Structure 1
Amino acid sequence: MPDTPGDFDYEAALAACAAGDRQAMHRLYQQEGARLLGVALRIVRQRALAEDIVHDACVNIWTRAASYDASRGSARGWIYSVVRNLALNAVRDAGRHVDVDDTTTQALEADMSVQAHHEVEETFALNASLGRLQHCLEALDPARRNCVLHAYVDGCSHGEIAERLGAPLGTVKAWIRRSLVSLRECMA
């Protein structure tokens, strides 16, 4: 029977894992395995995938236990963050719609916001170095320019662009096709 979280020494377990004590990893799994599975399952909504994530998390915890830094948070929190991050990565990598709870949605949106900020910075840097392309893009109608940027900078599908802009899918496809023709002519 697992100890209550307050009775279990997570820092000592991680230190023992870092020293190569397999029993420490076993005790840690016995203590938190079911709850870790619950966290992963709540995020990915598929039991088999959640079990794989917990397995991968245990491997990561075992191999990275020495990197745990008590000054950055609790050992138990670090263990849960490993599972949570792997589960969020699995959702992102799957590229499919998965129903998640509000906390997970907020975490995903925060991660995507940071990523979008970096992409915008990279886009501005690219635009600064590609003056002619910038000039040609500026010559496009704003809606058509946004379609091209969403497709080629953000990596959105035509369906995602149509959803973002609230425009029919056929219109978005036509705008992108015509915009690419215009850009080729302008760049020539």
Structure 2
Amino acid sequence: MAPASSNDPEQLRAWLAAAAARDAKAFKSLYLATSPKLFGYALRILHKRELAEEVLQESFVSIWNSARTYQSQLSAPMTWMAAIVRNKALDALRRMDGNPEIDVDTFDSSILAALRDPGATPIEALQISSDARALAHCMSLLEGLQRQVIGMAFFHDLSHSEVAQQMAIPIGTVKTWIRRSLERLKTCLAREERK
């Protein structure tokens, strides 16, 4: 089976929908089409092949388990999957370094561009707005689980109870993490705006 282009959002959406219905063959096609590009993103962040491979595996487990939460009206398939890879890679860096702050400058523009339309040309990918860069920086400063809760609630439009159920944590914890994370993001973005 020849993998389709990872730049064909319609095909990726179809495979994600089939994966949500637990179609292993469609998931394999999704993996074959997207794993080289997603591995490249992970490798650029981690700079270690073994770690990037581990993150890619964790990411595809997460993609398989979360495929039913993907909402095509919110993001392109590659954008959604790249965000999962990015978050897993940031978590791996934090575990490896024991450092809760990641310098956003270590992420070149092509990694940040992964959060945009995968069909963008290289020139378009380099033109990420300063607001997007500031938000990416501020999101990278959040703890891994808190960043995941924010992502699920706001990027995937899940309710607090749905987030709590998917993450197997109390709803009160979800609400507290969202409130605190939003306060931290607001403070961080205000600081970034003054720069």
| TM-score, structure 2 as length reference | 0.52
CA drift of 1:70 comes to 1.4
Q: Name 1:19's counterpart in structure 2.
A: 21
CA drift of 1:25 comes to 1.1
Cα distance in 1, alignment partners of residues 96 and 84 from structure 2? 18
> When the two structures are aligned, how many residues end up with a matched partner?
120
Q: Name 2:47's counterpart in structure 1.
A: 45
Change (3 A) 1:113 1:83: closer
Q: Name 1:2's counterpart in structure 2.
A: 3
Cα distance in 1, alignment partners of residues 80 and 22 from structure 2? 18
Report the structure number with the largest CA radius of gyration: 1
Cα distance in 2, alignment partners of residues 63 and 113 from structure 1? 25
Superposition map of 1:82-101 within 5 A: 82-95=84-97, 100-101=106-107
Percent identity over paired residues: 31
Residue 110 (structure 1) aligned with residue 110 (structure 2):
no
The Cα offsets for residues 86-126 of structure 1, whole Å up to 9 and x where unpaired, read as 111211232268882344695663225667x948x69xxxx
Task: Identify unmatched segments of 5+ residues in structure 2.
Answer: 113-132, 144-178, 185-195
| TM-score, structure 1 as length reference | 0.54
* Contact 1:43–1:100 (8 Å) recurs in 2: yes
Cα distance in 2, alignment partners of residues 79 and 101 from structure 1? 17
Amino acid across the alignment from 1:33: S
Cα distance in 1, alignment partners of residues 24 and 76 from structure 2? 21
* Contact 1:44–1:100 (8 Å) recurs in 2: no
The Cα offsets for residues 131-177 of structure 1, whole Å up to 9 and x where unpaired, read as xxxxxxxxxxxxxxxxxxxxxxxxxxxxxxxxxxxxxxxxxxxxxxx
Task: Identify unmatched segments of 5+ residues in structure 1.
Answer: 123-188
